[in-house]
């Protein structure tokens, strides 16, 4: 494992994206998001997804030049067609619009259809939190997980994000409806490690903590067994209804790769308009204090608020450099220099 500075990683990814056909400005934003995800420890959706994004542009599954277009407006709701543009840019645009609507109405919702992979969902929670907004957003995906009771894949893992701003470190929950994302399985396999808890079923139908065995069967375990399965099904249906987009079944038929033609829903709340910043800060601090004063399960276990571990990893990676898999880093450097 090597470590690369944030600046070097961002510059290299940007070059790869410019070579792939993105404008300088768009490549800059996308590279910042990918490098930022790796910096925060979400390697699977940072550097490790650069090559796939470039491949999708080459295949025509992502349109490097497309911009979102307004389809509908209704008080605090707007619906956009993402026109298969880069998912990161579409999602940033949509969250930004949701915040503008929330500034006027206390709350704003944007439904975004026909978009592409937004990479790390937490990016958009943090985007809102940075501007002082509370956010709730989610995406649907292609089928990548069996519904509870099934052994063939039929539902998405539909990541769901909640975010609350806090000066000393935002609270951000970024959870897929699978106990582990395929990205986490990949990263764990690349490190030759096992999962800390079972993450799916192996080819013999037994619960397993071997990432490779689960990647093969695609029988990843829904978060909380039947609960994550049910939540994934309804997040999918809601995302389609609220964005005028395709359900997971429709995305499967479209066949444009991981999250090609998926939908996202962005809801922003302006806490200043609703109950005030001082009130929010009090609620957040007393909740963190309550969690931190719990008795730890054992002396080696820390109790974190959602987003705290990302912040710790961010600080470490900024100090020491961002760890990279050598093969993946060489591949991205090659894409940047071709």
Instruction: Quote the distance between the C-alpha of residue 119 and its chain's center.
Output: 5
216 binds a second copy (CB under 8 A): no
User: How many C-beta atoms surround the C-beta of residue 106 within 10 A?
Assistant: 16
Q: How far is the CB of 23 from a second copy (least distance, A)?
A: 32
> Nearest 5 degrees, angle CA 126-CA 234-CA 101?
40
Cβ closer to a second copy: 30 or 284?
284
Q: How far is the CB of 183 from a second copy (least distance, A)?
A: 15
d(CA 113, CA 27): 22
151 binds a second copy (CB under 8 A): yes
Task: Tell me the three state secondary structure of residue 256.
Answer: coil
Phi, psi of 220 (to 5 degrees): -70, 150
Q: How far is the CB of 125 from a second copy (least distance, A)?
A: 10
- With CB under 8 A as the contact rule, the residue among 52, 224, 337, 338 that binds a second copy is 224
- With CB under 8 A as the contact rule, the residue among 2, 23, 69, 152 that binds a second copy is 152
Residues 266-305 touching a second copy, rule: CB under 8 A, are 269, 271, 273-275, 279-280, 283-284, 286-287, 289-291, 293-298, 301-305
d(CA 151, CA 145): 9
Element (H, E) at 254: helix 248-254
Size of the site for a second copy (CB under 8 A): 84
Q: How far is the CB of 34 from a second copy (least distance, A)?
A: 24
Could you give the string, one character per residue 90-119, with x where binding to a second copy holds by CB under 8 A and - elsewhere? --------------xxxx-x-x--------
Residues noted as catalytic:
45
Task: Tell me the three state secondary structure of residue 41.
Answer: coil
179 binds a second copy (CB under 8 A): yes
Cβ closer to a second copy: 57 or 242?
242
d(CA 39, CA 44): 11
Q: Classify 273 in phi/psi space as left (phi over 0), alpha (psi -120 to 50) or beta.
A: alpha
Closest CA to 171 of 13, 329, 281, 20: 281
Distances (CA, A) of 109 to 32, 94, 105, 125: 25, 9, 10, 14
Q: How far is the CB of 137 from a second copy (least distance, A)?
A: 12
Q: How far is the CB of 122 from a second copy (least distance, A)?
A: 11
Could you give the string, one character per residue 52-81, with x where binding to a second copy holds by CB under 8 A and - elsewhere? --------------------x-xxxx-x--
Residues 227-266 touching a second copy, rule: CB under 8 A, are 227-228, 230-231, 233-238, 240-244, 247-250, 252
Q: How far is the CB of 111 from a second copy (least distance, A)?
A: 8
Closest CA to 159 of 232, 78, 244: 232
Q: Are 336 and 12 in contact (CB under 8 A)?
A: yes
123 binds a second copy (CB under 8 A): no
Cβ closer to a second copy: 146 or 211?
146
Phi, psi of 33 (to 5 degrees): -70, -45
Cβ closer to a second copy: 21 or 106?
106
51 binds a second copy (CB under 8 A): no
Residues 131-150 touching a second copy, rule: CB under 8 A, are 134, 136, 143, 146-150
Gap between the terminal Cα atoms of the chain: 24
């Amino acid at each position: 494992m090597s470590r690369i500075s944030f600046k070097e990683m961002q510059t290299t990814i940007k070059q790869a994206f410019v070579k792939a056909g993105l404008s300088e400005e768009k490549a800059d934003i996308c590279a910042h998001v990918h490098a930022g995800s790796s910096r925060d420890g979400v390697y699977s959706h940072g550097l490790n997804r650069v090559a796939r994004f470039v491949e999708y542009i080459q295949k025509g599954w992502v349109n490097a030049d497309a911009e979102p277009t307004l389809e509908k407006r209704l008080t605090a709701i707007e619906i956009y067609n993402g026109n298969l543009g880069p998912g990161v840019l579409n999602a940033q645009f949509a969250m930004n619009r949701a915040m503008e609507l929330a500034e006027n109405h206390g709350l704003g919702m944007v439904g975004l259809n026909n978009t592409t992979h937004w990479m790390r969902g937490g990016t958009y929670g943090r985007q809102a939190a940075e501007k002082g907004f509370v956010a709730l957003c989610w995406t649907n995906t292609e089928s990548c997980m069996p519904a509870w009771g099934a052994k063939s894949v039929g539902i998405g893992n539909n990541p769901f994000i909640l975010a609350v701003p806090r000066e000393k470190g935002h609270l951000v929950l970024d959870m897929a409806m699978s106990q582990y994302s395929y990205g986490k399985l990949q990263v764990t396999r690349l490190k030759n490690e096992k999962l800390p808890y079972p993450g799916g079923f192996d080819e013999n139908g037994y619960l397993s903590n071997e990432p490779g065995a689960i990647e093969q069967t695609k029988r990843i375990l829904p978060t909380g067994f039947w609960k994550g399965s049910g939540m994934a099904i309804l997040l999918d249906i809601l995302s389609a209804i609220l964005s005028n987009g395709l359900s997971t079944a429709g995305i499967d038929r479209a066949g444009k790769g991981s999250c090609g033609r998926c939908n996202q829903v962005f809801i922003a709340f302006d806490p200043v308009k609703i109950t005030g910043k001082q009130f929010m800060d009090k609620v957040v601090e007393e909740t963190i204090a309550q969690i931190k004063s719990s008795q730890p399960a054992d002396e080696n276990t820390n109790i974190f608020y959602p987003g705290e571990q990302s912040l710790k990893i961010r600080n470490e990676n900024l100090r020491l450099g961002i760890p990279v898999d050598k093969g993946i880093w060489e591949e991205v450097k090659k894409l940047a220099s071709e």
